[in-house]
Amino acid sequence: MVIPYPRIDPVLVHLGPLAIRWYAISYIVGILSGWWIIGRTLRDRSLWSNPPFDGKAPATADDIGDLVVWATLGIIIGGRVGWDLFYGTILCTVSPASFCGGLPYGFLTHPIKLVAVWEGGMSFHGGVLGLAIAIWLFCRRRKLNLFSIGDLVTSVAPLGIALVRMANFINGELWGRPTDVAWAMIFPRAPDRLPRHPSQLYECFLEGVVLFIIVQFCFRVLRWQQRPGLITGTFFTGYGLFRFFVEFFREPDAPFLGWFTMGMALCVPLILAGLIVYAIALARPPVSAAK
């Protein structure tokens, strides 16, 4: 049994030569929604009533508004550079006969490629690294607590992930491995026309919906933000484990080392980073809220 793939035009609006795509909308809505949720979170005094905050939120609404600009640039540049590096350089070196994501370091000769998201090619792991660097630089400039700001951002990040994975599904890209499960789909862009796992929906549900519920529960019910870093560690570890699991159902971008895909390889340092953040958060004494 095969479920018909819903053919949805990847372009939401055609405006002559200008095309507004679901993929771009998913990033925009994800960032704006995260901004809105963080703003409401900062205004909820009950969340900051206990040490180390004692009634003072770790950032102001103006801080977060400015951070959105930094974060957006970090995600786009990190995602594009990560795609070029991981799938254009490392993968071509490890498996030269495999598909390569693009021209290695092509952005050095064509800088516009850094922001040419309309061409496709965004690495989630590169985007996370770019976002982390942007947050670190921003917190250093504003003298804000890095882990507290990281907790705010990662508490809403899964929402954006869910939207982007849904956009991947609409684009009919990043499909799953061939299967005979009852909910298999034939993706029009897959050259072999075999029934496949809708792995984009698996990722949308696990990395997006489930992880969002987990981090929000930890933030609002368990109040883990009182130990800055625990929410960030939960996000890193949770995403890494969920993505590693889904890689068993997702068609690998290219062979890496046998069954061990590039996606799995990139999840290992993310999981380790989450565990390290956990250890640091638990080892350090509570810190004062940023001024």
Task: Please list the pLDDT of the chain residue by residue as tens digits (291 residues).
Answer: 799 999 899 999 988 878 889 998 999 999 999 999 999 999 999 999 998 998 999 999 999 999 999 999 999 888 888 877 776 654 555 444 444 444 445 555 666 666 666 556 778 888 999 999 999 999 999 999 999 999 999 999 999 999 999 999 999 999 999 999 999 999 999 999 999 999 999 999 999 999 999 999 999 999 999 999 999 999 999 999 999 999 999 998 766 678 899 899 999 999 999 999 999 999 987 655 444
Instruction: Give the pTM.
Output: 0.89
Written as one string, the DSSP assignment of 72-127 is: HHHHHHHHHHHHHHIIIIIHHHH-TTS--SS-TTHHHH-GGGGT-GGG----HHHH
Phi and psi at residue 41, to the nearest 5°: -65, -40
Cα separation, 247 vs 278, whole angstroms: 25
Cα separation, 264 vs 243, whole angstroms: 7
Cα separation, 55 vs 139, whole angstroms: 20
Question: What is the structure's pLDDT at 97?
Answer: 45
Question: What is the structure's pLDDT at 114?
Answer: 62
Cα separation, 153 vs 161, whole angstroms: 12
Are the C-beta atoms of 77 and 131 separated by less than 8 Å?
no
CA atoms within 13 A on the CB side of 185: 23
